[in-house]
A and B are shown apart, each in its own frame.
Chain A
């Protein structure tokens, strides 16, 4: 760690200073080292006495070193703005973090980065879209960036890893904090097979505002941002906003106009987002190779179905159905239908989603 980096690290560890405070200090003094050397009186003139007092309290090379060592010991890295590996695209954004904590494969930062994001509460189709884009982009060699949240984020990243691709998870908490808890296995896997990033020091608990702040990192890192599904007030829209501000390509996957889960992503399409009907739309626009990315296509019905099973699959092809809908559409007895559905489910041809909706399993 160079002296400049150490000094930057020191500044980010001063509580309450924030990005804006650091910016002010740097513009007044030139470099972080100059800030370090300027002393209390000079700081107080720029950021006020209470913050200057905190800076003085934190100004302890041993503590900074110890912090650095702790991060190294958990296998992580600290990328300050002065670090050669600090992502260039991010550095160009106005509010880029001064330090990034990283755990995993740093070389991923040099690749093609595209964000795939969406709501936590997804429709079945949203989930399929997240998986489709996650896997499709990953197969084309793109590194999928996302927030490792419940719902779309996690689904896309898991699909990317499962497809043998790479993924970067940007966290809103410390790298050693597991949030949401059910994504712990995925978070550990990303640390091994991909990369985890956070601007918060290890141990920082999950707090709401940090998550919308990390959205700017997701947008800043990526060349393009794909919103697979977002409700009207989804956090994914915040990321989309940053993408527009930072001049990134913004894509949205069109959803049903009747579903509240896709109200937000459809709004994006109305304004500036490009429609993404499959991973190749994203790849084409970004000028990347599309060969390895299959689009969504209507898969042929599996072989060996009898007439009744075929009829059911034909109905489900039009979209997911509730049990009552199936009874109405197929005019089968409920008992008979239940028995058929179980058989199809056991053969993996259809799946049942929470709320007792049935869908064909093909496609994702």
Chain B
């Protein structure tokens, strides 16, 4: 007899519907064939299914059996089809009625004793299923909890194959998972690191707020121990909270990459080590898995020790930074992953880190310092609007003398106001933050006049600003004006914007 169970597959972060068809005749040679491009884990499914059924006191049908995973031309990976195959077998051998399996999405891995194990990538598949109009899903209980944030779907969590079978036979009642509202999830989140924990470093804190307000990328230059990493960790906490759709998108990526933490409600903070390869950063591997930049989608990508990153790796970031998406093509799959993130970089002022210190000696020659700075890719620097030099704080002094200052919550409120102003201005233009301004839009929204213009001209001449540097200063000045809710860019906005450019110019003339 023939049975068909609805399941879902995953390519990249996109789910697709899949039918698990089981054809089973009793009597005859006991063969078991899985077709439809099964991967190794899918082929091994037979052994887990047989043991699980037998150990759950269910009958394993002996006879010629064929399992087809349709569409048959897409490669299937992982153990997530154990449960649909087992249920298909039971239905095909008349141990289960066919009716309740209709329109029920089934996913799950089996252990030999019949219990259900959680699988990865549930959320992207369910999100797709929900938009395909699937109303019910049967999942391992751990996955069901993770999926409970999805509105408009009844999610049933089963402990074991036996409880799944009893549920489908109507012998046992399972309650659908209670819906977890997004707001309640949001409330439970706490930022990684609060700004009030960072003492001193007023300039860098200010720069961080500007970066958050205008969506600017930022580079911190400072000696080891000056709090660069800690500040970067504060960034997710001062960005406005993610909306539900943003959270879903981010979650799809993380879930596809193997996370089982349910809905990602907090803006991600990714800090890949500088030995990471280009593939690890932008995505790759045989199955074109998402890389760090996609995992940082809607959040923060932090590159510590920027000059230590191989140039080729940094160059690979340019296109995704421009487009907000990255296309990864590999043998096993071609995928498109979103990758819109705030970039924060950090580096030492010289190889030993003590250049400019008043207390520690720098042993680097000027040539060594120049070589070190030149290792950073120029085109990448062009995409960084904000360069800030950290203060050299001796640790004991920092803890004693400096007041803690504002917390992330207060700063975030201001950031939201500034962002709202920019959003309002750019309505219908497709951009939403000052960092994305270019060309005609830049001229329209960042026009300078009077004092501000005079200062800018003087600065161009005196600091020998390049055209690129000029536009960066303009964009920053626009953000600074937004932070004060001003329509016009004033002189002091330009002056302050120049301060974040000036720091960079000392290191990179241009």
Query: Which A residues are within 8 Å of any B CB, using their own CB?
Result: 121, 123, 150, 180-182, 231, 259-260, 322-324, 327-328, 334-343, 345-346, 352-357
For B468-510 the 0/1 string (1 means CB < 8 A from A) is 0000000000001001000000001101101110110010000
B220: min CB distance to chain A, Å? 11
Q: For B496, give its contact among A121, A150, A339 (CB under 8 Å).
A: A339
**CB atoms of A356 and B392 under 8 A apart:** yes
Q: CA–CA, A259 to B359, complex, Å?
A: 7
**CB atoms of A324 and B498 under 8 A apart:** no
Known pairs A327-B202, A335-B496, A340-B495 / 10 extra A-B pairs, C-beta < 8 Å: A260-B359, A322-B392, A323-B203, A324-B200, A339-B496, A343-B495, A345-B502, A352-B506, A354-B349, A355-B355
Contact of A352 with B203 at beta-carbon distance under 8 Å, contacts A324-B391, A343-B495 already known: no
Question: Does B201 sit within 8 A of A, measured CB to CB?
Answer: yes
Q: For A346, give its contact among B203, B389, B459 (CB under 8 Å).
A: B459
Question: Does B356 sit within 8 A of A, measured CB to CB?
Answer: yes
Question: Which of B389, B499, B503 neighbours the largest number of chain A CB atoms within 10 Å of its CB?
Answer: B499
Q: CA–CA, A144 to B492, complex, Å?
A: 45
B199: min CB distance to chain A, Å? 9
Q: CA–CA, A335 to B210, complex, Å?
A: 10
Contact residues of B: prevailing secondary structure: helix
Which residue of chain A is the closest to B392 with respect to CB atoms? A355
Q: Which chain B residues lie closer than 8 Å to A322 at the CB level?
A: 391-393
Contact of A355 with B203 at beta-carbon distance under 8 Å, contacts A328-B402, A339-B496, A339-B499 already known: no
For B15-36 the 0/1 string (1 means CB < 8 A from A) is 0000000000000000000000
Question: Does B197 sit within 8 A of A, measured CB to CB?
Answer: no
B168: min CB distance to chain A, Å? 64
Question: Does B206 sit within 8 A of A, measured CB to CB?
Answer: yes
B224: min CB distance to chain A, Å? 13
The 8 A-B pairs of least Cβ separation, nearest first, read A355-B356, A354-B356, A339-B496, A339-B495, A334-B206, A338-B499, A334-B202, A356-B389
Q: CA–CA, A110 to B456, complex, Å?
A: 53
Interface size class of B (residues with CB under 8 A): 35 or more
Q: Which chain A residues lie closer than 8 Å to B184 at the CB level?
A: none
Question: Does B390 sit within 8 A of A, measured CB to CB?
Answer: yes
Question: Which of B366, B498, B503 neighbours the largest number of chain A CB atoms within 10 Å of its CB?
Answer: B498
**CB atoms of B200 and A181 under 8 A apart:** no
Q: Which chain A residues lie closer than 8 Å to B401 at the CB level?
A: 328
Q: CA–CA, A355 to B221, complex, Å?
A: 9
Question: Does B358 sit within 8 A of A, measured CB to CB?
Answer: yes
**CB atoms of A335 and B358 under 8 A apart:** no
Question: Does B365 sit within 8 A of A, measured CB to CB?
Answer: yes
**CB atoms of B356 and A356 under 8 A apart:** yes
Q: Which chain A residues lie closer than 8 Å to B392 at the CB level?
A: 322, 355-356
Which residue of chain A is the closest to B367 with respect to CB atoms? A181
**CB atoms of A341 and B402 under 8 A apart:** no
**CB atoms of B358 and A259 under 8 A apart:** yes
**CB atoms of B362 and A356 under 8 A apart:** no
Contact of A342 with B365 at beta-carbon distance under 8 Å, contacts A323-B391, A334-B202, A357-B358 already known: no
A79: min CB distance to chain B, Å? 32
Question: Does B274 sit within 8 A of A, measured CB to CB?
Answer: no
Which residue of chain A is the closest to B393 with respect to CB atoms? A324
Q: Which chain B residues lie closer than 8 Å to A342 at the CB level?
A: 495-496, 498-499, 502
Question: Does B399 sit within 8 A of A, measured CB to CB?
Answer: no
